[in-house]
């Protein structure tokens, strides 16, 4: 059996104490560095879906904006005005008043873009909403833009 | 001092420091575990309050219905009734203030549909979402903001 | 060091070492308990979130847990692994008192009487078997229940004597008539009789509640339904007054429906359990339809 000198024994003891302290520090570090998951995207998804649903139902001229959007896709007038211009104006007002975020809105008729409000961006999209009436149909969607 | 006595004092000191390190270590660990549990709880409460922006529009007490068919909006005709029974919803809402604020077409009055604010609170967090509302008075659909203020 | 000193030295080492070891083992055990409690809390929250997510839209799904878990459902709460109690008084739940497994089948179903009151939560477990004694009611209910509940089966009364319980932790037999004599079944099988009178009065959803839950849990959930119905009736009553003030005319009269809603609220508040509720329910639907027919704003 190797017999250590006194000084060596004390150094071994010191090393053990240092190792214990390092392990404790690592445990502390593990608890300290906790990543924050992206809670925002799930909230934004709900907000986007609520917004697109609210937009399509808004009453206008005894009908609703959905009807105005379909009229726009068919290049018709709505409420005595150009349907597209009217829809864009009103949808912009709705989006500006209901959220501080930048939101992109688009309406398509079988992949043909009928109208859009603001510029397309990267962000959280709503699900595609289908709107239909006797004059036709369209698909609408909003996107809450990520701030970069 | 004799050599044996020095050795005993040395041993006692080493044990003392060891114990101190251990005690601090465990106190530290205990504090962190407690903080971890509190933080988990707070995260959960925060999650529940965020969930309300999808839960409230689905509540039958507020949701539009027409001939028993559901429509995705909030019925302003139900708001006064809900306010009268809102105290029964503490288990769902907790310490919060829930406001429906009409934003389009005009800025009509705000409706505070639920309110229970604690006497003391450390902070207030606000979450909002757009919402469709139906006014039976003018038979029209408008846009509102659902604002949830969480006090904790 | 002489022999005596060595002995003292070793005694000291053993004593100190044992103390430290006991302390560390005790700490490890306590830490394990704490982590176990934390895991139970996580499981409880996971179940709560999964079920509340289903409530937003009427849905059913299998909720998979990370491990086999013991769940005890009470009136306003449930206990995970006899350790962590999670309160959820806002939910109306029909579930057996004890569930042991890792795959829960959950159904959030809209309850109407006649207007939507709430979503009822039906919970079963993949390894719990429910047999419905074959008759027209059993077949009707089997077709009413989503196919995801593949642990529910219609069985001929003759086949009950050769019941195969292997592979199932719990077995329940439901008979839609008191005339079936099921006393020959083993004592560990739960038996539920649904009276034909009950069937006439209770809606299908409440009979489902009897199928899925135990007597205690069923009674508690029924109480909650009464309370919730009363709250919703009060909201509709106020709405009828609002419509009366804003929108009534010679065609649109809201007085009678308001009075009916008030009666309905009284019945629900006093938990009156008789066919009178069915009469009021039919009356409310009829009056609402009259308003719709007269192009008036409907109450519900």
Q: Which member of C56, C231, C297 has the closest CB to residue B58?
A: C56
The mean pLDDT value for A35-47 works out to: 74
Tokens of B94: 């907790």
The CATH architecture of the domain made up of C127-213 is: 3-Layer(aba) Sandwich (3.40)
Chain C contact probe: residue of B46, B61, B70, B138 with most C CBs at under 10 A: B61
Residues within 8 A of B (CB atoms), A 79-138 only: 93-94, 97-99
Q: What pLDDT, in 10s, does the model give residues B30-41?
A: 788 888 888 888
Q: Where are the domains of chain C?
A: 1-125, 127-213, 220-293
pLDDT of residue A38: 56
Displacement of CA B148 from its chain's centroid (Å) = 9
The predicted pLDDT at position A32 comes to 65
Q: Which residue has the higher pLDDT, A1 or C209?
A: C209
User: Could you read off the pLDDT of A98-121 as tens digits, one per residue?
Assistant: 988 899 999 999 889 999 999 998
Alpha helices in C177-275 (DSSP H): 196-201, 204-212, 215-247, 255-269
Low-confidence ranges of chain C (pLDDT < 50): none
What is the predicted pLDDT for the residue at A141? 95
Question: Looking at residue C200, what is its pLDDT?
Answer: 58
Chains sharing 3 or more CB pairs under 8 A with chain A? B
Percent of the residues in chain A that have a pLDDT greater than 90, as a whole number: 54
Chain C nearest C-alpha distance from B122 (Å): 24
Q: Name the stretches of chain B with pLDDT < 50.
A: none
For residue B32, the model assigns a pLDDT of 81
Residues in B touching A57 (Cβ below 8 Å): 72-73, 132, 141
Say what the pLDDT of residue C273 is. 64
Average pLDDT of the residues of chain A: 87
CA distance linking residue A146 with residue A41, whole number of Å: 9
pLDDT tens, position by position, A46-77: 999 999 999 999 999 889 999 999 999 999 89
Q: What is the ipTM of this complex?
A: 0.85
Q: Which residue has the higher pLDDT, A29 or C47?
A: C47
Closest CA of chain C from B121, distance in Å: 23
Residues B95, B109: contact at Cβ < 8 Å? Answer: no
- B59 interfaces chain A, CB cutoff of 8 Å: no
Query: pLDDT tens digits for C47-89?
Result: 998 888 888 877 888 999 988 999 999 989 999 999 899 999 9
What does the pLDDT read at residue B56?
Answer: 93
Considering only CB atoms, which chain A residues are within 8 Å of B105? 58, 93
pLDDT number for residue C37: 85
- The reported pLDDT for the residue numbered B8 is 84
Specify the pTM. 0.85
Per-residue pLDDT, A37: 45
Whether C236 and B78 lie within 8 Å, measured CB to CB: yes
Nearest chain A Cα distance for residue B18, angstroms: 8
Structure tokens at B34: 């407690």
Percent of chain B with pLDDT over 70: 99
Question: How do the domains of chain B map onto residue ranges?
Answer: 3-151
Which of B130, B134, B139, B141 has the highest number of chain A CBs within 10 A, making it the mutation to test binding with A? Answer: B130
Q: Which residues lie below 8 Å from residue B98, measured CB to CB, with a gap of 6+?
A: B52, B56, B112, B113, B114, B115, B146, B147, B148, B149
Average pLDDT over every residue of A80-108: 92
| Gap between the Cα atoms of C290 and C140, Å rounded | 32
| B65 contact residues in C (CB cutoff 8 A) | 115-116, 300
CB contact under 8 A, C38 and B37: yes
| Bridge partners (DSSP) listed for residue B149 | B97, B126
Question: How would DSSP label each residue in chain B?
Answer: --HHHHHHHHHHHHHHHHHHHHHHHHHHHHHHHHHHHHHHHHHHHHHHHHHHHHHGGG-TTTEEEETTEEEEEEEGGGHHHHHHHGGGGHHHH-SEEEEEEEEESS---EEEEEE---SS-S-EEEEEEEEEEEETTTTEEEEEEEEEEEE-
């Amino acid at each position: 059996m190797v017999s250590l000198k006194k000084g060596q024994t004390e150094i071994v003891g010191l090393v053990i104490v240092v190792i214990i302290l390092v392990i404790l520090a690592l445990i502390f570090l593990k608890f300290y560095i906790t990543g924050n998951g992206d809670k925002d995207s799930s909230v934004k998804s709900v907000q986007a879906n609520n917004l697109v649903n609210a937009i399509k139902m808004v009453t206008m001229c005894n009908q609703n904006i959905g009807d105005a959007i379909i009229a726009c896709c068919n290049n018709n007038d709505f409420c005595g005005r150009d349907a597209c211009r009217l829809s864009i104006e009103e949808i912009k007002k709705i989006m500006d008043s209901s959220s501080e975020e930048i939101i992109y809105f688009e309406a398509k008729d079988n992949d043909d873009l009928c109208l859009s409000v603001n510029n397309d961006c990267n962000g959280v999209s709503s699900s595609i909403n289908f709107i239909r009436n006797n004059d036709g149909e369209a698909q609408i969607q909003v996107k809450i833009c990520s701030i970069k | 001092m004799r050599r044996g006595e020095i050795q005993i004092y040395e041993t006692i000191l080493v044990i003392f420091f060891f114990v101190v390190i251990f005690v601090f270590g465990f106190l530290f660990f205990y504090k962190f575990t407690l903080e971890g549990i509190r933080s988990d709880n707070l995260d959960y409460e925060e999650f529940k309050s965020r969930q309300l922006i999808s839960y409230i529009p689905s509540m039958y007490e507020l949701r539009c219905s027409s001939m028993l068919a559901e429509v995705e909006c909030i019925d302003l005709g139900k708001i006064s009734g809900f306010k009268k029974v809102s105290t029964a919803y503490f288990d769902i809402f907790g310490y919060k203030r829930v406001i429906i604020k009409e934003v389009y077409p005009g800025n009509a009055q705000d409706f505070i549909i639920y309110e229970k604010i604690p006497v003391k609170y450390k902070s207030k967090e606000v979450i909002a979402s757009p919402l469709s509302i139906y006014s039976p008075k003018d038979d029209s659909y408008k846009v509102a903001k659902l604002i949830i203020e969480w006090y904790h | 060091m002489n022999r005596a000193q060595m002995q003292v030295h070793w005694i000291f080492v053993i004593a100190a070492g044992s103390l430290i070891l006991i302390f560390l083992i005790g700490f490890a055990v306590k830490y394990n308990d704490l982590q176990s409690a934390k895991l139970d809390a996580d499981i409880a929250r996971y179940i709560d979130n999964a079920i509340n997510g289903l409530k937003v839209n009427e849905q059913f799904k299998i909720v998979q847990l990370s491990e086999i878990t013991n769940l005890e459902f009470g009136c306003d709460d449930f206990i995970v692994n006899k350790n962590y109690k999670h309160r959820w008084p806002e939910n109306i739940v029909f579930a057996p008192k004890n569930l042991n497994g890792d795959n829960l089948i959950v159904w959030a179903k809209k309850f109407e009487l006649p207007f939507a009151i709430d979503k009822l939560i039906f919970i079963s477990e993949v390894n719990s078997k429910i047999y419905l004694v074959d008759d027209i009611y059993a077949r009707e209910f089997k077709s009413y229940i989503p196919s995801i509940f593949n642990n529910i089966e219609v069985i001929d009364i003759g086949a009950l004597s050769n019941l195969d319980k292997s592979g199932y932790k719990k077995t329940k037999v439901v008979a839609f008539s008191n005339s079936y004599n099921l006393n020959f079944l083993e004592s560990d099988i739960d038996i539920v009789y649904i009276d034909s009178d009950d069937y006439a009065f209770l809606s299908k959803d409440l009979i489902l509640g009897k199928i899925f839950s135990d007597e205690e849990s069923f009674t508690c959930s029924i109480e909650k339904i009464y309370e919730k119905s009363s709250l919703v009736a009060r909201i509709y009553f106020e709405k009828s007054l609002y419509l009366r003030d804003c929108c009534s005319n010679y065609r649109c009269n809201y007085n009678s429906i308001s009075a009916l809603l008030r009666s309905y609220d009284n019945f629900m508040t006093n938990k009156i359990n008789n066919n009178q509720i069915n009469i009021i329910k039919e009356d409310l639907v009829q009056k609402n339809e009259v308003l719709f027919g007269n192009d008036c704003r409907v109450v519900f």
